[in-house]
Structure 1
Amino acid sequence: MFVCLCHGITSHVVSECVANGARTSKQIAEACGAGGDCGRCRRTLRAIIEAHFEADNSAHTAASR
């Protein structure tokens, strides 16, 4: 799914940026350009970041049981 229409960035690319250490929409913009122009996708970028950490926390919780 395209997340940033200004740069043609997909959710897969954004997810890779988050997996590689991006923790804010500004860091994602620096890494791949998404959210760097008009900013309409920043809410979606933040949602992808949150989803990544929710999934990561769920995996850690399940592993500790």
Structure 2
Amino acid sequence: MYVCLCRGVTDSQIKQAVEEGAQSVREVNDLLGTARQCGKCGLTTRDIVNQHLDAMQSARSSLAYNAA
């Protein structure tokens, strides 16, 4: 789905940026150029980044196990 029509950025590109190391909305905005023109994509970008960071953290947590 297109999130930023001004820059042609999709939700998949935002998720990929997070997977490649972006740790904040600001970092994603800097990498992809989102929220630079009309700004309408800012809230959606924030939601996608936060959800994807949470999902990645949950996946890491579920892989951890107690060795004791």
- Unpaired segments ≥5 residues, structure 1: none
- Aligned structure 1 segments of 4 or more residues deviating by more than 4 angstroms: none
The aligned length equals 65
CA positional deviation for 1:64: 2.3
- Is it true that 1:40 corresponds to 2:27 in the alignment? no
Query: TM-score, length-normalised on structure 1?
Result: 0.80
Larger radius of gyration: 2
Work out the CA distance in 1 between the residues paired with 2:37 and 2:20. 22
- Unpaired segments ≥5 residues, structure 2: none
1:54 is aligned to 54
Whether the aligned pair in 2 keeps the contact of 1:26 and 1:35 (CA below 8 Å) is no
Query: TM-score, length-normalised on structure 2?
Result: 0.77
Whether the aligned pair in 2 keeps the contact of 1:28 and 1:35 (CA below 8 Å) is no
Q: Structure 1 vs Structure 2: percent identity of aligned residues?
A: 32
**Root mean square deviation of aligned Cα:** 1.5
Per mean C-alpha deviation after superposition, the further-off stretch among 14-23 and 35-44 is 14-23
